[in-house]
Amino acid sequence: EPEDVLVINVMAEKDQYFKGEELLNVVLSQGMRFGSMNIFHHHEDTENDGCILYSMANLVKPGTFDLNSMSKFTTPGVSLFMPLPLESDSLAAFEKMVATARAIAIQLYGDLKDESRNVFTKQTIEHYRSRIQEFERKHRLKSPA
């Protein structure tokens, strides 16, 4: 069970939608792969094994995707999320998640938002990095040396 989850929402502009095929092309180009729970995951390595670094769900409930209908699919946005603790380098995984979110936003003309759907700024990124560092510091204190 994750103790904390970092979230970046990528939202289409007001009254707009991301097209399924375009979204699929961007996330695949960023190394994400369709997998368990019918959502996309970015694994530690490109062969889809190793731990999952972060995942992407549809903002529309139930949050899943149907690969067979991506050509007819639209969504107002997606949510990338990274659970903590992670079995890998959390800061590096977070940086990859930010890069993927930015790629989606740039290529599909979307906006980055935080977990409360406020504008995702440089300060937000620093706050998330601090959360990771603080989480890992507390985790090291809990675990036996």
Q: What is the DSSP letter of 35?
A: -
Buried b (16+ CB within 10 A) or exposed e, 1-24: eeeeebbbbbbbeeeeebbbeebb
**pLDDT at position 145:** 52
**pLDDT at position 118:** 95
- 145 residues of the chain, pLDDT tens digit each: 889 999 999 999 999 999 999 999 999 999 999 999 999 999 988 666 679 999 999 999 999 999 999 999 999 999 999 999 998 899 999 999 999 999 999 999 999 999 999 999 999 999 999 999 999 998 877 665 5
Cβ atoms of 77 and 22 within 8 Å: the answer is no
**pLDDT at position 14:** 92
